[in-house]
Structure 1
Amino acid sequence: MAELDQKDYHKLDAPLSEILSSMKLKDDERKEANKYLIEIIENEVIPAMQDVDEFFKIVYKRLTPSGSYYENLKISKPNEFDRNVELAIPFKDIEVRSSSFYGYVQVKCNGDKKRFAEKGEKILKNWLDSDGMLKRNEVLQWMQSVMDRALCKKPIENVKIFPSRHGPAITLTIIVKSSSGKELEFCVDLVPVFSFDEAHWPKPPVRQPFINLPDFPKTWCIVPKEVPNNPEETTHWRISFYDQERRLMNGYNAMKAILKLIKKLRDCQNNCDYLSSYYIKTVFLWEMEKEKYSEEFWQKSIGVLFIDMLKRLVEYIKEKQCIPFFWDERHNLISKLEQDTFKNLGNRIENIINKIEKNLPGNPDYVKSCFPGWDTEDPSSSSSVAQSFSEEIKSDSDTEILSDNFSSLFSDNYPRLRQRQAQDHSLEDIGIWGAIGIGALALALGVTAVIRGIQENNRQ
């Protein structure tokens, strides 16, 4: 095949723009989802949690959005959201310590707990180990307990809520009837996090703040994400710089278009569940830095950028077999994947690239066949590659059983099980997709129908 130049790749612009336009979120759907998100989570669920637990009322700070919807990287309907439940560590003397596990830290708490009510003192005692280290599992269990009691004590009229758990998130699947009588279903991942200021920023070799970047966020978080292959290490917390990542990518709308196309390409292939959205996003963060955050680089043709970034992704997966965590490059995000997985995934992407290039001279529309089903949803109006994407907010995660005492809250109809997709948000690589059996939940809800497993991605 003759050597292709950039002009040849320009032929991909039209078909790729069609695919991109089909992913554009509808304003009315986004506004409706945001409306119910505020009405149910912010105005009902959080106040109910404060009512049933005095200590939650003390340490709760705010809800903050995260994920692909909020980053303008959502590629499907606005029906999945992430919210960080920011909590305050109720100690004046806090020490953030480096961890032996790359990408993680430990938090040592010192000080007097007696200023809290007796119940608060008991909770704090459970939160800390004998050395004063904050324990991840205990915080998650407490948060789960608060949610259990809140939903049981204060059901919401005309709203059905189905709780589940994935990793560090409590996932609420919510069904509500709109004003038009239409039944809406959406999911919200609530993740308990602790935020810190710049004075507690992790020490090098963790990446330090971008001091030359205007408005660079100085607040960062720790997330109760399990240490890979070491679940018993409960005092180690994953560092999270979601706001910083969002700031770095802010304004690069053409870059976001390419990232969305690659996420969509992944979703259109079989058995690519393990390539999480956060892995792809991290590759883009590294390549943005490699290109010195050049806006000119991302002003190239959409076809040129699409093929270029696919080839760079192959380099990370197949050749390097490593996608370093952007904030601590000692941590390989894909270290859990088998060597054959690297090879197979790299070969599959290379095969896609080769077929696109082979058909490019005479049949640039062939690229559409690499996105099977892309046009099954109503496409919205066409838009240019460099257009501004509207502000959004998102959610991604896997599922497991949260508890079995919610049958009084729900009808016998379990919500339509949806296929979800992810990021690791600043939850980074949170969430490798997997089919999770939900028979126990079906039994608890009195459902007699056979429930199929859920397949979802990640975040972070």
Structure 2
Amino acid sequence: MDCKKYNAMEHYLHTINQRYIALSEEEEIRNNAILRVVVEPIIQKMREKDKLFKKLYKDMFFGGSYYDGLKIGSPNEYDLDLLLKFPPPCETEICNINEVDIYTSNKPGFVNLYLRNRNGFGNLCEFWQAYLDIPKLLSWMEGVIQKALNDFSEDRSWYIFQNLYSQKYYVKVYKQGPAFTLIIRGENLGQLVNLSIDLVPCFSFDYSRWPKNGFKPNPFSYNTDMSDFFVVPKYPKGVPNYGGRYWRLSFQKQERYLIHNKGRLKPALKLLKKMRDTMNSNQISSYYLKTVVLWDAEKQDPNFWLCNSLSYVFMYILKTYQKCLSEKKIPYFWNKKYNLLESVSGDLNNMSNRLKYIIDDIDRNVSQNPAVVLKYVLTPDEQKALFPEVPIEESSWCSLL
């Protein structure tokens, strides 16, 4: 690929990044303050209300696109992991009641957690065996959160929180998959507040428990801050029997470091996410797009991301992504036997064909019409607002739907 071929698009892509993708620093500061007003008191109440939660809870990890620097649009959605950790076993063999075995499962990318002694943790395990059970863990966590919220004032089913300046925020909670979503409404300095926070319970393990049998070793094992990993209560599709014992692994700390300080990588990936949203291809999660880039972050020389233009890097990862769709495969970065696309319900051939059409259209016309990329990354209203001087063209890929 000619590294200078797409330079004429550079102005347009940088402008899109600044206007529709870059986050408002003012909003970030305000929203982070609101998070503390709501989340910290809830965690404190959970510790007070439930002895088991107090025993297991260790810390909170700020995860997801926002804290990875990959969030696009308004910073109003956040992912917070509630890190649980089993107490270390006693030194004597008789007293190792809380030791957990991590078994790689027959489903690549997932593990089973087995308690050698379930005393004190029986309500989190399967009835017939000592495997930690996802539905039971989530049911227990739901009860703990509800007991904590019951201690706060309530107004028409909204729980009330106040900051030091007596500003009120109203909170509701919904259960969605492994997450407990806090919806926050209110007003701050005359501006309406509308936030969504996903609280996800996770078990944290240190480097000594790093999974083997097909899993990539920790590339940062020398760094103690990067030595631990998480196990998330999200089970795979298509496992009819004992599905609740299949836990998904999460290496968020390591992934964040892999894409850190990589020049054009993050801006290009955010443009790809914006294109996905404009095309309404929401069957492809942000994590799948991130995984496409993780493989290249590992193999490419760091200068690739630093020295090439944003337009070149964007087209490079767009073509890489299209190739993955055509092959119907995005291998999980930490265990390539697990194909992330196996659970996608949409027509992958159609998605691949649409992207191939877009790539060919840009390649044919970019030298004479560098604005050709706009109709694929922006909606017509966004293009009209940002580039009123550029005639709006119809996105011909719509005819492929």
Conservation of the 8 A alpha-carbon contact between 1:283 and 1:313: yes
AA aligned to 1:310 is L
* Partner SS for 2:195: strand
The worse-fitting range, judged by mean Cα deviation, of 202-211 and 256-265 is: 202-211
Deviation, 1:13, is 0.8
Counterpart residue number, 1:147:
145
Q: For residues 234 and 25 of structure 1, what CA distance do their matches in structure 2 show? A: 38
Counterpart residue number, 2:351:
345
Deviation, 1:55, is 2.2
Counterpart residue number, 1:252:
262
AA aligned to 2:196 is C
Deviation, 1:49, is 1.7
Selected match of 1:74 from 64, 71, 91: 71
- Mapped pair 1:225 → 2:234: yes
Q: For residues 201 and 322 of structure 1, what CA distance do their matches in structure 2 show? A: 25
Counterpart residue number, 2:275:
265
* Partner SS for 1:153: coil
Q: For residues 71 and 335 of structure 2, what CA distance do their matches in structure 1 show? A: 26
- Mapped pair 1:173 → 2:157: no
Counterpart residue number, 1:446:
none
Q: For residues 12 and 185 of structure 2, what CA distance do their matches in structure 1 show? A: 36
- Mapped pair 1:35 → 2:33: yes
Higher relative helix content: 2
* Partner SS for 1:6: coil
Q: For residues 7 and 208 of structure 1, what CA distance do their matches in structure 2 show? A: 37
AA aligned to 2:102 is V
Counterpart residue number, 2:311:
303
Structure-2 change in CA distance of 1:92 and 1:17 (3 Å): same
1:350-429 correspondence runs (5 A): 350-373=356-379, 375=382
Conservation of the 8 A alpha-carbon contact between 2:374 and 2:383: no
- Mapped pair 1:126 → 2:131: no
Structure-2 change in CA distance of 1:176 and 1:67 (3 Å): same
Conservation of the 8 A alpha-carbon contact between 2:262 and 2:302: no
AA aligned to 2:238 is N
Conservation of the 8 A alpha-carbon contact between 1:221 and 1:241: yes
Aligned residue pair count: 361
AA aligned to 1:146 is V
* Partner SS for 1:8: coil
Deviation, 1:377, is 11
* Partner SS for 1:140: helix
Structure-2 change in CA distance of 1:188 and 1:27 (3 Å): same
Deviations 1:64-102 (A, max 9, x none): 100111111111111111100011224542211111111
Counterpart residue number, 1:138:
136
Q: For residues 273 and 147 of structure 1, what CA distance do their matches in structure 2 show? A: 30
Deviation, 1:8, is 2.7
AA aligned to 1:152 is N
Counterpart residue number, 2:335:
328
Structure-2 change in CA distance of 1:128 and 1:268 (3 Å): same
**5+ residue gaps, structure 2:** 88-96, 154-159, 162-167, 387-401
Deviations 1:228-264 (A, max 9, x none): 1226411111111010101111111311111000001
Conservation of the 8 A alpha-carbon contact between 2:258 and 2:298: no
Structure-2 change in CA distance of 1:174 and 1:132 (3 Å): same
Q: For residues 13 and 98 of structure 1, what CA distance do their matches in structure 2 show? A: 46
Q: For residues 6 and 215 of structure 1, what CA distance do their matches in structure 2 show? A: 38
Counterpart residue number, 2:156:
none
TM-score for the superposition, normalised by structure 1: 0.74
Deviation, 1:267, is 0.7
The worse-fitting range, judged by mean Cα deviation, of 329-338 and 253-262 is: 329-338
Selected match of 2:174 from 164, 181, 184: 164
Counterpart residue number, 1:428:
none
TM-score for the superposition, normalised by structure 2: 0.85
Among all aligned residue pairs of Structure 1 and Structure 2, give the percentage whose two residues are the same amino acid.
31
* Partner SS for 1:234: helix
Q: For residues 22 and 253 of structure 2, what CA distance do their matches in structure 1 show? A: 23
Deviations 1:17-54 (A, max 9, x none): 11111121111110000000111111x21112223223
Conservation of the 8 A alpha-carbon contact between 1:209 and 1:216: no
Q: Which runs of 4+ in 1 moved over 3 A?
A: 211-216, 373-379
Structure-2 change in CA distance of 1:164 and 1:378 (3 Å): farther
Deviations 1:379-416 (A, max 9, x none): 8xxxxxxxxxxxxxxxxxxxxxxxxxxxxxxxxxxxxx
Deviation, 1:215, is 6.1
Structure-2 change in CA distance of 1:152 and 1:92 (3 Å): closer
Conservation of the 8 A alpha-carbon contact between 1:216 and 1:244: no
* Partner SS for 2:67: coil
Selected match of 1:238 from 238, 248, 252: 248
**5+ residue gaps, structure 1:** 114-120, 380-460
- The alignment's C-alpha RMSD in Å is 2.1
Counterpart residue number, 2:103:
97
* Partner SS for 2:100: strand
Q: For residues 93 and 162 of structure 1, what CA distance do their matches in structure 2 show? A: 36
Conservation of the 8 A alpha-carbon contact between 1:84 and 1:191: yes
Higher relative contact order, chain-length normalized (CA < 8 Å, sep 6+): 1
Deviation, 1:182, is 2.5
Q: For residues 49 and 384 of structure 2, what CA distance do their matches in structure 1 show? A: 42
